[in-house]
Amino acid sequence: MSAPARDAAPVVQLRRFSKWYGDVVAVADLSFELRPGVTGLLGPNGAGKTTLVLQCNGVLLPGAGRVTVAGLPVVPEHLKEIRRRVGIVFQDPDDQLFMPTVAEDVAFGPANLGLRGSELEARVKGALAAVGMEGHADRPPHHLSFGQRRRVAVATVLAMEPEILVLDEPSSNLDPASRRELAEIVTGLDITILMVTHDLPYALQLCPRALIMNGGTITADGPTAELLADAELLAANRLELPFGFDPAALGSR
């Protein structure tokens, strides 16, 4: 796994970003930078994580402040390019799989960009190979296991060749073998990754850096092992390690 490079240029920047829904403030005066590598975004339900993620590819626009992706402000005239550069893999893979076969699902996005023929075929094969699903190209997605469908959902995003990959609760509903397989895929990708998760051990395994979000703002930013070893910090942000998971052992990982 690659740690976010502190000296690398930021890929995503938020400066005093706020967003509200009616009278409800979802995110308040938030600033942070996302740099190349794997970063975890941790926080309880209602912390504002989904709102933040949807800003990163322009599904939502800032209510106040500034958001930039690869140097492009998140404003209407840049949304098409930003959405090409930022791929989101949602928690439920069935939200992204709707074509008769795996290959057709993976081809859908690049085909909409105008790719055809051998170029499209190569894009599909490469994306499926990256997630270890090249042998399932002709199968209907609903015939696959949940873990396999999640890997195909990742392939549909990788086929777009994004610069940034957002994973929303990637380990949810996965059995141990599927968790391991997905972890191997994530650590093998040479791409900037933001992983939104409640699964603190998985964040420790995959994310050298983590952000903790609560109440619509970033409450902590640092090495994941250090943050998860701070019992007071976790309690203040309504985060809990699994029973029997010893924080004292985190520093050795």
CATH number of the domain located at residue range(s) 12-96+164-252 in this protein: 3.40.50.300
Helix (H, G, I), strand (E, B) or coil at 120: helix
Q: Model-level pTM?
A: 0.89
pLDDT at 137: 97
Non-local (6+) Cβ contacts of 139 within 8 A are: 101, 102
Alpha carbon 106 to its chain centroid, in Å, reads 18
Mean pLDDT by 10 residues, the chain (253 residues): 60 88 84 92 90 83 85 90 91 94 97 94 97 96 96 96 94 94 93 94 94 93 94 94 72 47
Please identify which residue in the block is written with the tokens 């976010």.
4
pLDDT at 208: 95
pLDDT at 248: 60
pLDDT at 1: 47
Give CA–CA dist 50/210, Å, rounded: 16
Cα-based distances in Å from 70 to 36, 195, 196: 11, 18, 20
Give CA–CA dist 159/157, Å, rounded: 5
- Compute the Cα dihedral for 35, 54, 201, 149 and give only its sign: negative
Cα-based distances in Å from 47 to 42, 68, 89, 116: 9, 21, 19, 42
Domain map (residue ranges) of the chain? 12-96+164-252
Report DSSP letters for 22-51, one per residue.
Answer: TTEEEEEEEEEEE-SSEEEEE--TTSSHHH
